A = this chain, B = another copy of it.
């Protein structure tokens, strides 16, 4: 585990620059018995050269056998213990739509749902109504719901999903969820899970009651379900614990949001890979640490599209020389987790990792791939080790003890 207290004592100033290139869901599985993974099948001469000069291994985002979501796996790669620093679902959803949460805010994931005349749920997702309809209903809720002493924000996400944010003093997220997770029953009232959450539970129940009335004519989206109540976590900030001016380059809002939670500045970027690398070049002078996020390795894995994943990896490899032309001092290429096309989803398989720096002691690895990484000197290691290793290779940590 990263010992922030220890690291803070050891951090020294330097002008070195670190790049963390995250190919989301990079790890994979063969699609034919004994065949290559997508990363192994891809032609990656640039990354292979870095692997030969640097050190390789496979990181465990959370622990052996644990399949991570994107929130905890990113936190781990940023050096934050993902079990200690849990980000609530409500916050993750808010962050995912670029909602600017404040420390006062209580966020929840919302669903529009359908209830019958007796108030029992008949569709937990309101027939997956179009986002445009959701947006109108959300606006109506935000305009019409009135709660004493708190501001109410209702923001659409996609289809039937929205984010509820209450802003006010003393909100406590220790609340039970309203979704009974079965059909034919009414939504559950929110219960406080701690005595001090009683007032917050009352406010949320009032929101639900008012929403029921306001949405009465909005069938199929005539009711709401709420879960994942959470407040903005107060995470140690990268400037404080690592002494780094950190920047995030991510086309998708959730990843920008995650990066902002740990104190990174999100740089403006377009959606394309080339745009992201251009943003890196533009921001180069002003930061010490750059997190660059590539989404499509993950989405092609989620789609079960092995060939697309191979293609994305090759596209990234083609851009690696642009990164190296900036003369970084440390480059880490890895993923936040594995997303094998064969499984069409995130998996627990450890994540190929390459750390390149002139201060590396080279190992025997000469290519970047899952099998090759098993022979690397980093071995199989916790993802939270990446950050202290990057700092060390960037000569940004002084000696511990005399």
* A→B interface (CB under 8 Å): 3, 6, 10, 27-30, 33-34, 37, 53, 58, 62-73, 82-83, 86-87, 89, 92-93, 340, 343, 346-350, 359, 361-364, 370-371, 374-381, 385, 388-393, 397-402
Contacts and interface: CB of A to CB of B under 8 A. Distances in A.
4 closest A-B pairs by beta carbon, nearest first, are A65-B388, A65-B392, A69-B401, A72-B401
A29 B92 CA distance: 43
A362 B401 contact: no
A374 B364 contact: yes
Given A364-B374, A400-B72, A401-B87, A348 B392 contact: yes
Nearest to A395: B343
Given A82-B400, A378-B380, 17 more contacts: A6-B66, A64-B381, A64-B388, A64-B389, A65-B391, A68-B401, A69-B401, A69-B402, A70-B401, A72-B401, A82-B401, A340-B361, A350-B377, A362-B371, A371-B377, A374-B377, A380-B381
Nearest to A30: B362
B83 A399 contact: no
Contacts of A30: 361-362
26 contacts: A3-B63, A3-B83, A6-B83, A28-B361, A62-B400, A63-B385, A64-B389, A64-B392, A65-B388, A66-B388, A66-B400, A67-B399, A68-B399, A70-B402, A71-B401, A73-B401, A89-B402, A92-B402, A93-B402, A348-B397, A349-B361, A361-B370, A363-B371, A371-B377, A374-B376, A377-B380
Contacts of A72: 400-401
Contacts of A377: 58, 350, 371, 374, 380
Nearest to A374: B377
A112 to B, nearest CB: 19
A6 B371 CA distance: 29
A376 B379 CA distance: 10
A63 B388 contact: yes
A69 B87 CA distance: 37
